A and B are shown apart, each in its own frame.
Chain A
Amino acid sequence: MKIANLEQLKEIKARGLRLTYPDKIKVMVGMATCGISAGADKVYAALTQRIAELGLDVVLAKTGCIGFCQREPLVDVIYPKQVRLTYQAMTSETAVALVDALKEGRIYESQSLCRIDQEDFLVEGVVRPYANPHPPELPPEFPRYEDLPFFSKQVKISLRNCGFINPESIEEYIARGGYQALCKAVVEMTPEAVIDQVKASGLRGRGGAGFPTGLKWEFCRNAPGELKYVICNADEGDPGAFMDRGILEGDPHAVIEGMAIGAYAMGAKEGYVYCRAEYPLAIDHLKTAISQAEGLGLLGEKIFGSDFSFKLKIREGAGAFVCGEETALIASIEGRVGEPRPRPPFPAQSGLWGKPTTINNVKTWSHIAPIVARGADWYASFGSGNSKGTTVFSLVGKVNNSGLVEVPLGITLREMIYDLGGGIIGDRAIKAVQTGGPSGGCIPEEYLDTPVDYDSLAALGSIMGSGGMIVMDEKDCMVNVAKYFLDFTRDESCGKCTPCREGTLRLMEMLEAITEGRGQEGDIDRLIKMSELIKKTSLCGLGATAPNPVLTTIKYFRDEYEAHIRDHKCPAKVCKPLITFSILEDKCNGCQLCRLRCPVEAVVGTKKEPHQIIQEKCIKCGACFDGCKFDAVVVD
């Protein structure tokens, strides 16, 4: 069937609602890559088997990631017209126990994370309560979803459906208001009106540079030429960031609908999603979604009975960070080596195959349908100043609650880390938070009250970037972190321009020397000078931002550099050439664990006698340190 109007879309919506909220119990497993890596596939298999064994009449379904990756595998039980209960850290065993409880008509109480009493249908602006009128009484082990600090400050626009629908079902996407915005745009609005809405919303690109999206669209619309392209940048090269994966795996139609609206607004007939090959499941879900949308006529010819036609294709990346840069990405789609070229001309003038092209990030596209459906004012009511709306961060590293969080811009780093993130693992002291990936910087504790927005982060020498937020504690060495990023950029530099190719290599060599105790007086100034030079003279953003991790760590953690250079000490006890492992005689009771764990037989000693480490043999792998239950192994 091809959907030709709103009426027909509503018919599918009704079907989708029955699928999403069936009239029998539905058990749902979060099966994004993060869930699977935590064991969700085993949980799913155990559920399937037990349900079959008991002949239980329930619906078993898969969903995307609701963001709380830390607590995965997550399983939900939806009791029709009552409540949805979310369970955390599930295993095959607890899965069986859960099914058994369902069979006996009991509420399974262990592994509880929260209860969800209502869901937001964001694009329609309605709230759908599970129970009408009274939610069931439940034990306090089930706090309300809105009361969990991890969720309470979130506003989910990009992530509106992740963890709520089956991403492989277009009906479920439509159930929650999907494709209504496309219908509205194509049937009721002129392309110019769509662009005006996007401009007025204040939406800025979520892929890195933060360029105003509406303006970019206008350039492309006004560029001469019949043939135009829209591209979704799903290269997500920032290591430590996985928002784009989360959205593509959990709600691929959100991106497709956004792109179709954009294509209508700009007059494009074809589009590409350029997705990194490291995300096989995202590519898989995207393929399914595109073919479903084609099946319903939401992609293809004469969409919603109009003259607008739009075809969407997927291109896989092949593992090159620089291909996230828009001109390199275009070269890669064209089948060439992914090297950037100087701009102008900008892609809006001359992009894919020389035609006007708009490239936006996954998150940027996923904001479009809600903006069109609810209006620019609604969207701009979130966020602050020059940074409107919400954005998704991947909150990872040394925080207690790691996962994907979507917050209004302007929230402070402290709220992110301590409220949503639940503080630092083991209550250790925070040292820095890294934003913006290899192009960004490390922000120290004293700036945690900085609002997270484009301008404030830039003022600190970092960037918003695409949304990676990596929290580091006292056990992370900042010189080593700078070296890590330089190793990355040196490796990923395409080599076309000299400042980036040679400059990152020089920086890397200097940092290597410092972490190995070969640093010299004056190195810090040399690092700064070289960094400034690379920033000024590189061809593309990769080189122009590569020194940021070095500059910010020098700016905020100069003492650590000095300790390495002058005292040959690594204060965080990370840099191997500068540390030694030894065993405290009075604490060691000769349990032998360290001796057995040592991969190179560097630990010697007899049972029940204090052990020793032979320094010449020690490779400083830390196995003894990790293994010791009596704190007898120390690092200096």
Chain B
Amino acid sequence: MPEEAARARTAYAEVTDADVVSGIINTYRDEPGNLLPVMLDINRHFNWLPRPALEHISDELKIPLTEILRVASFYNAFSLTPRGKNIINVCLGTGCFVKGSPRLLERLERKLGIKHGETTEDMEFTLEVVRCIGCCALAPAIRVGEATYGRVNPDQVSKIIDSYIETASL
């Protein structure tokens, strides 16, 4: 998984990436209203929406690029800038909020030296906030990539991130 993610993270340059985009577009080609599913898959694959991919969609699906960019900036899930290998989502839903998640966020911002919405220099981590991941009963919760952690305190959150740093340097 790490290599795959690392590959996806590098800029949209290689020929194979255009193939990936074509593949995704083809999956949904005949679906009415297929723009969102296509964009979601591309966003998931690259961790963001590279401009050439959007141009590719525009050509293939005959949708004006301006419309695609409007959709891209409307929905929170999409990113128009490259994001890190590990996307950290700190839940700021009400359940987590009253259980102290703002402090988890502060702790992570200090630890990583970035504000939420930003990516570390080395492209390892992007810090984002999310409004509820459905683990409210185990608040406060965070998600790193696809892994969800419940009942996290500020000290633990630091350790969780360390474990990703260690895996990265293996």
Contacts and interface: CB of A to CB of B under 8 A. Distances in A.
A332 B36 contact: yes
A433 to B, nearest CB: 11
Interface of A: 33-34, 36-38, 69-70, 72, 236-242, 245-246, 277-280, 282, 315-321, 332-338, 353, 394-398, 402-404, 434, 437, 468, 470, 472, 476, 481, 484-485, 488, 494, 599, 619, 621-623, 626
A209 to B, nearest CB: 20
A34 B149 CA distance: 9
A353 B99 CA distance: 42
B137 A434 contact: no
8 contacts: A70-B137, A240-B93, A279-B133, A318-B75, A318-B77, A319-B77, A396-B94, A599-B110
- Most chain A CB within 10 A, of B94, B130, B148, is at B94
Contacts of B150: 34, 37-38
Contacts of B107: 599, 621
Contact of B132 (A241, A277, A335, A621): A241
B5 interface: no
Nearest to A488: B131
A239 B92 CA distance: 8
Contacts of A36: 148
Interface stretch (B9-17, B18-26, B27-35, B119-127): B27-35
B134 A278 contact: yes
B134 A245 contact: yes
Interface in B84-119: 92-99, 103, 106-107, 110
A623 B97 CA distance: 17
A488 B97 CA distance: 12
Contacts of A403: 137
A336 to B, nearest CB: 7
A398 to B, nearest CB: 7
A338 B134 contact: no
Nearest to B137: A69
B95 A33 contact: no
B71 interface: yes
B57 to A, nearest CB: 11
Closest 9 pairs between A and B when the two form their complex, measured CB to CB: A239-B93, A69-B137, A319-B76, A240-B94, A37-B150, A318-B75, A335-B33, A242-B134, A335-B35
A33 B148 contact: yes
A311 to B, nearest CB: 12
Contact of B76 (A37, A72, A318, A621): A318
Contacts, number: 151
Given A318-B78, A622-B103, A34 B134 contact: yes
B146 interface: yes
A70 B92 CA distance: 19
A38 B150 CA distance: 6
Chain B's interface size range is 35 or more
B125 to A, nearest CB: 18
A394 B95 CA distance: 10
B139 interface: yes
Contacts of B70: 337
A426 to B, nearest CB: 13
A239 B89 CA distance: 14
Nearest to A434: B94
B141 interface: yes
Contacts of B149: 37
A332 B150 CA distance: 31
A126 to B, nearest CB: 31
Nearest to B71: A337
Contacts of B92: 239
A241 B106 contact: no
Nearest to A314: B37
Contacts of A333: 33, 36
Interface string B49-91: 0000000000000000000001100111110000000000000
Nearest to A352: B33
Contacts of A277: 40, 77
Nearest to B141: A37
A333 B70 CA distance: 16
Contacts of B154: 623, 626
B36 A318 contact: yes
B138 interface: yes
A439 to B, nearest CB: 12
Nearest to A399: B137
A33 B75 contact: no
A623 B94 CA distance: 22
B6 interface: no
A410 B148 CA distance: 35
Contacts of B93: 239-240
A38 B138 contact: yes
B39 interface: yes
A318 B39 CA distance: 9
A396 B149 CA distance: 17
Given A279-B133, A397-B99, A434-B94, 11 more contacts: A34-B137, A38-B151, A69-B137, A237-B131, A240-B93, A318-B75, A318-B78, A394-B137, A404-B137, A599-B110, A621-B107
B150 to A, nearest CB: 4
